[in-house]
Structure 1
Amino acid sequence: MIPAVRAAALALAALTALLATGARAGAPPPEPADYRQDHYRTPTPATLAGARVIGAGEAEALWRRGVLFIDVMPQAPRPAGLPPGTLWRDPPHESIPNAHWLVNTGFGALAPETEAYFRSALERLTGGDRDKPMVFFCLRHCWMSWNAAKRALALGYTRVIWFPDGTDGWSDAALPLERLQPEK
């Protein structure tokens, strides 16, 4: 076979195999089997097994109905090496009004204290009702909310809703934001 023809045939076979798997450039990544452990600000899957995935329109409708919204945006740490006595104020966090900010609960691996904080906060916020709907969010292209929603499913919550566009999608829809303080 002529080298150019052979190269074209191989390229066509590779493209056919790629299309057969459903993969394409710019497609969302597939769901991993476990929690995402790094590179949290990259494109997220279009799905989360066991959860319902929503856009801004449905998020607004649920918010207006009073459904529980859980923000899992991490909190900025105090910079290391500040001189003693230096005042530090946490940067303000704008979020969906009336959401509950469970800081640092979207990482792939949680310290036992953070895992207990997440578990007890969900228990308190749902009143122990594992069937209470909860919307998890962070920012667009942020695995933190995917991880937290997956973690809630693992804890036995049955009506987990994931809003992957988070506060970015909310803001893009011209919906209000307000400053939140972390849940204790």
Structure 2
Amino acid sequence: MRHLLPALALWPLLLALTVASPAAPAQTQMVPAPEGFRMGDYRAPTPAELPGAATLDTPGAAALWQQGGAAWFDVLPAARRPEGLPEGSLWRPTPRLGVPGSLWLPEAGRGSLDPALESWFRGALDRATGGDRGRPVVFYCRADCWMSWNAARRALGWGWRDVRWYRDGTDGWEAAGLPTEVLQPAPGMP
């Protein structure tokens, strides 16, 4: 019992430190933008902005969505069947909820795209915008997700002139109580 008393005496101090200095939310951490694409560890704090693109907060994203006219792209990867799941086992991935009217382009936010995936992504952008590179395009996934940052950067490189990056993605959207709908991957994904 005597050994427990020093440890128990530390609990109030540890509790006070935890309450007095809460960890900053991940989405407020500032990290520098890389020169190129983020190539891995996609679920990590992101930069505050993407040079050449407008960064949207949730009120700005909601206003743009209400206004209409922008093409919205969710680039979160689709859930994959767990490795080692026995053959014939039932597996139901959680449905992807996104901003209503979005086109879901799983895997399009990777740092490196194989030629088939890159062609599919480019084609989806062209079809969704009618080839109008001045039409607003919005890329999102989740908060602290580099996939949308990469996809928006790629669209800028392909000549889209009104690129928006919704940094907080569906995490911010759902936290604000905004409507969602179940998304299906866009057709033709390689």
Displacement of 1:181 after TM fit?
A: 0.5
* Alpha-carbon separation, structure 2, partners of 1:89 and 1:115: 28
Displacement of 1:178 after TM fit?
A: 1.3
Seq. identity, %: 50
Q: Which runs of 5+ in 1 are unaligned?
A: 1-25
Q: Deviations over 1:121-163 (max 9, x none)?
A: 0010010001110111000000000000000001110000000
Q: Which runs of 5+ in 2 are unaligned?
A: 1-27
Letter in 1 for 2:60: E
Aligned twin of 1:98? 101
Aligned residues: 159
* Alpha-carbon separation, structure 1, partners of 2:103 and 2:65: 12
Secondary structure of the equivalent of 1:77?
Answer: coil
- Is 1:148 aligned with 2:131? no
Please give the root-mean-square deviation of Cα atoms over the aligned residues, in Å.
Answer: 1.4
Aligned twin of 2:66? 64
Q: 1:45-124 maps to which residues of 2 (within 5 A)?
A: 45-66=47-68, 67-86=70-89, 88-124=91-127
Q: TM-score, normalised by structure 1?
A: 0.81
* Alpha-carbon separation, structure 1, partners of 2:78 and 2:103: 13
Q: TM-score, normalised by structure 2?
A: 0.79
* Alpha-carbon separation, structure 1, partners of 2:173 and 2:158: 27
Letter in 2 for 1:62: L
Secondary structure of the equivalent of 2:72?
Answer: strand
Letter in 1 for 2:120: Y
Aligned twin of 1:136? 139
Q: Is the 8 A contact 2:155 2:163 kept in 1?
A: yes
* Alpha-carbon separation, structure 2, partners of 1:125 and 1:63: 15
